[in-house]
Amino acid sequence: MSSIMDKVKANRTRPAEIEGEQIKIRVYSGPELKKMIKKITGSSDTVVASILAKQFLDESGKEVFTPEWLLTDECPQCFFVELSELFMKVNSGLGKKN
């Protein structure tokens, strides 16, 4: 197997930016993403927040958000929606390229 294939398989994140800060967003294969979307569709806010929070990492690989914070009054609903859209944008291949 070529080294580029090894790198693609190993790197399961892609760069993105939130409010001017660099982050990494987890990326999934098509079948994995479909399973995740199916799990989220029609689920409670708690389930959605739990899944969404795991998708955004800082440069060291630590999760940036907690599900609890995403469900508080400190997190505007529009930001919650923007995170969801950014996650889908990156996983659709439309996000920032290196």
The pLDDT value recorded for residue 32 is 93
Q: Is residue 23 part of a domain?
A: yes
Q: What is the pTM of this model?
A: 0.83
43 within some domain: yes
- Whether 31 is covered by a domain: the verdict is yes
Q: What are the average pLDDT values for consecutive 10-residue runs of the chain, which has 98 residues?
A: 67 90 94 93 94 96 96 95 94 71
Q: Indicate the length of the chain as a whole number.
A: 98
Q: Which residues of 9-19 are buried (b: 16+ CB within 10 A; e: fewer)?
A: eeeeebebeee
Domains of the chain: total: 1
**pLDDT score for 94:** 78
In a domain, 96, yes or no: no
Given this model, what pLDDT does residue 3 score? 77
Containing structural domain, residue 55:
3-91
CA distance 92 to 87: 9
